[in-house]
Amino acid sequence: MLNAENEINQAKLENSPEKPSGPENVTEYTQEDASVPGSSGAKPTAEDSGEIPADNGGSLQAVLHSLPQAELRLLCSLLAHDGLSDNAYLLVAEVLKKIVALAPFFCCHFINELAHSMQNLTLCAMKELHMYEDSEKAILSTSSANGTAILRVVQALSSLVTSLQERKDPELFAEKDHSGAVSQISEINTSLDALWLELSNCISKIESSSEHTSNLGPTSSNATTVSTGVAPPLPAGTQNILPYIESFFVTCEKLRPGQPDAVQEASTSDMEDASTSSGGQKSSASHTNLDEKHSAFVKFSEKHRRLLNAFIRQNPGLLEKSFSLMLKIPRLIDFDNKRAYFRSKIKHQHDHHHSPVRISVRRAYILEDSYNQLRMRSPQDLKGRLTVHFQGEEGIDAGGLTREWYQLLSRVIFDKGALLFTTVGNDLTFQPNPNSVYQTEHLSYFKFVGRVVGKALFDAQLLDVHFTRSFYKHILGAKVTYHDIEAIDPAYYRNLKWMLENDISDVLDLTFSMDADEEKLILYEKAEVTDCELIPGGRTIRVTEENKHEYVDRVAEHRLTTAIRPQINAFMEGFNELIPRELISIFNDKEFELLISGLPDIDLDDLKANTEYSGYSIASPVIQWFWEIVQGFSKEDKARFLQFVTGTSKVPLEGFSALQGISGPQRFQIHKAYGSTNHLPSAHTCFNQLDLPEYTSKDQLQERLLLAIHEANEGFGFG
């Protein structure tokens, strides 16, 4: 603290035309007892000695009013001053906050002073960015002080603007001062437009460089990208422009441009309308919709999405700080960065101490045993590390048994015999069964399933299941549309699409109701159904050219939501106990499927590249045969093989380099098994390890390996 004080005092002396005659310094303003000193040379008062009564507000205000204007100007100028330590800058910002907290009338004064500092900094920054734009070598060989100074000033301004918003009492702010501060903020935003344009041009120069392009990540803004390795280093010198980008984001979020009430909070919630394609919920009707095409933030972020995401890969913490505005429009964030943000939030909860969750189940009754042992646990209990024991087996769970438990349990849950879920469309995707009522305590089971899916996400485990797009949207809190019917009933979807694209006047004879035959399509196995009104009195309301869009929306809501609303609600009750909706709302339905189920295909080249050997080498004949045999497996046998050696048939999103073992990442291992070649290959799923005898021929290896993955892929023991 003393070092910071000395730096500030030295900077004051350097910037002041006259040395202060009194002993006071800026740090006195931070004292918790609010004993703020008077001007230089003033006689000591009771307030200076800390003897201010709690109710003596008038005396305190008088002292604060007497603070020297020159000193206050110097205090603000320190934020734009180069060469102080981080501690000194933090101290200055804290002093400004505390002075404003004690004397709100200084807020407008500080805004004016910082606005003046911003004018000078902007001129220097424009020259600096223009230099970067003109000469690629310049950005590689220099460091930026202007960008950092602008960021400090912008952050201080945003804090003061917040104070101005919260304190609108005319007794605290003279109307002239208040309007002057508002005008200053508006002028700052206008003057910064040229700087942001220069910043954009500079970034474009970096992004267009062939030398740098490969380090900036994916080029497509629509593809769901899965990162399979460590983020590549950013182009040298690129960090110089990061403070400018952070300043731009803070300005967009805190200093709303182009409005008379320029100091009102930025309408970030309005931007949620732009994120409906990413799974975000629409903002409330009380907010004016934001036209993305005219939003400086959205246009900038879309144009430079690759570099912004490259910065986030290098420093994920940016999303929780200066880049947090991007979370309001999550489609601007690449999937791997969303996943890293999600995992960091979950890890924060994992870091808190939770007792282990131990369960003991019978394989033949895995659903019933798991349900009975987990349904009564509290949400906090479920955040503990899960360990599984299969009754009658000697295996000790070091991770492999838990992975197998998730796989086996998910298969039973989604089996048609359980009556909880049903397949639709291509019979490969699931959604709640409208007739689950025939299952005893079916809603309690749906809450349990929600807990299991939430726990799998919490533990970064993958499930062997794929839901319908509409059900993913229900989990994410996104609106379902008639387009989601296509995956369930393609023919019906085409009919609805034709209705919307053509004039149906005097063509279709429909009412706002579903007849019994249509209800049977929705309720599947249920035999006795009646027609259903989509709106009150719907049987008597005809569908016309004018109301056909409402009809299609009502049909989609009925088919995809209303018929299974109780099941959805029960599932979400269990799921949200572990995973808050706001945390997953950054994903769209396709990304969320990847998060739950992992990669759809097994990349054997990736597995081979991430395999370690003991007793063998990559050139060993048995190893050569092994990879040739596995390469020729059917898709089903590849999944069985992966289940056999790792305990799960799902591929981690980061690829096989991210396989988890007993104590963290553990690559696939092939160990030589010494002894008789009559033995089958064996696996240790907790270590992702395959023990492979040195068979005498390729045919013998293939026969033994297939037998192992088909007949011995469940159960754990020693020996």
For β-strands 668-673 and 611-614, DSSP reports them as parallel
pLDDT at 260: 31
> Is residue 691 helix, strand or coil?
strand
Catalytic entry in 76, 108, 252, 686: 686
Average pLDDT of the segment spanning 709-716: 60
Higher local confidence (pLDDT), 445 or 661: 445
pLDDT, the chain, mean: 77
Going from the C-alpha of 259 to that of each of 65, 175, 256, 512, 652, the distances in angstroms are: 32, 18, 7, 44, 48
Q: What are the CB-based long-range contacts (under 8 Å, 24+) for 101-105?
A: 101/163, 102/34, 102/36, 102/60, 102/64, 103/61, 103/64, 103/65, 103/67, 104/163, 104/167, 104/169, 104/172, 104/173, 105/65, 105/172, 105/173, 105/174, 105/177
pLDDT at 712: 56
Going from the C-alpha of 216 to that of each of 234, 324, 522, the distances in angstroms are: 7, 20, 47
Cα distance between residue 205 and residue 190, in whole Å: 24
Q: Which of 135-149, 181-195, 433-447 has the highest mean pLDDT?
A: 433-447
pLDDT at 184: 73
Confidence band for 29, pLDDT divided at 50, 70 and 90: very low
130: Cβ–Cβ under 8 A, 6 or more apart, which residues? Answer: 198
Cβ atoms 279, 185 nearer than 8 A: no
Q: What are phi and psi of 132, to 5 degrees?
A: -60, -40
259 pLDDT above the threshold of 70: no
pLDDT at 39: 35
Question: Within the chain, how many helices (H) and strands (E) appear?
Answer: 28, 12
620: Cβ–Cβ under 8 A, 6 or more apart, which residues? Answer: 613
Average pLDDT of the segment spanning 643-658: 77
Span 369-398, pLDDT tens digits: 999 999 889 998 898 888 898 888 776 655
pLDDT at 61: 66
Average pLDDT of the segment spanning 284-302: 59
pLDDT at 395: 61
Going from the C-alpha of 666 to that of each of 596, 663, 685, the distances in angstroms are: 21, 8, 11
pLDDT at 128: 82
Burial class (CB in 10 A: 0-12, 13-18, 19+), 43: exposed
Higher local confidence (pLDDT), 49 or 620: 620
Residues facing residue 514 across a β-bridge = 532
265 pLDDT above the threshold of 60: no
pLDDT at 540: 87
239 pLDDT above the threshold of 90: no
Q: Tell me how many degrees the CA angle 368-636-599 measures, rounded to the nearest 5.
A: 80
pLDDT at 256: 55
Average pLDDT of the segment spanning 659-680: 82
Going from the C-alpha of 336 to that of each of 230, 303, 330, 346, the distances in angstroms are: 11, 19, 12, 15
572 pLDDT above the threshold of 70: yes
Higher local confidence (pLDDT), 529 or 111: 111
Higher local confidence (pLDDT), 424 or 323: 323
43 pLDDT above the threshold of 60: no
pLDDT at 508: 84
How many CA atoms lie less than 13 Å away from 214 in the CB half-sphere?
A: 2
Is 252 marked active-site? Answer: no
For β-strands 682-684 and 532-533, DSSP reports them as unpaired
In 3D space, the residue among 127, 130, 124 whose CA is nearest the CA of residue 201 turns out to be 130
DSSP 263: T
246 pLDDT above the threshold of 90: yes
558 pLDDT above the threshold of 50: yes
Span 76-105, pLDDT tens digits: 888 888 878 888 888 888 888 888 877 777
Q: Pull the structure tokens for residue 254.
A: 């805190």
Quick check: pTM over 0.85? no
Q: Pull the structure tokens for residue 183.
A: 């005008």
33 pLDDT above the threshold of 50: no
pLDDT at 245: 93
Least confident of 190-204, 293-307, 462-476: 293-307
Average pLDDT of the segment spanning 14-31: 38
Q: What is the 3-state secondary structure (H, E, C) of 505-538?
A: CCCCCCECEECHHHHHHHHCCCCCCCCEECCCCH
DSSP 502: S
Least confident of 92-96, 183-187, 356-360, 543-547: 183-187
Going from the C-alpha of 98 to that of each of 33, 64, 126, 311, the distances in angstroms are: 11, 12, 33, 33
354 pLDDT above the threshold of 90: no
pLDDT at 697: 92
Span 601-635, pLDDT tens digits: 788 888 888 899 999 999 999 999 999 998 888 87
225 pLDDT above the threshold of 60: no
Q: Pull the structure tokens for residue 154.
A: 């912008």
Cβ atoms 308, 326 nearer than 8 A: yes
pLDDT at 424: 78
Going from the C-alpha of 315 to that of each of 242, 309, 322, 350, 537, the distances in angstroms are: 11, 10, 11, 21, 57
Cβ atoms 468, 493 nearer than 8 A: no
> Is residue 447 helix, strand or coil?
helix
In 3D space, the residue among 465, 486, 473 whose CA is nearest the CA of residue 594 turns out to be 465
Q: How many other CB atoms sit within 10 Å of the CB of residue 191?
A: 14
pLDDT at 489: 83
Q: Alpha helices, DSSP H only, in 255-383?
A: 296-303, 305-314, 335-350, 366-374, 379-382
pLDDT at 9: 54
What's at 227, amino acid-wise?
S
What is the secondary structure of 6-28 as a DSSP string?
HHHHHHHHHH-SS--SSS--GGG
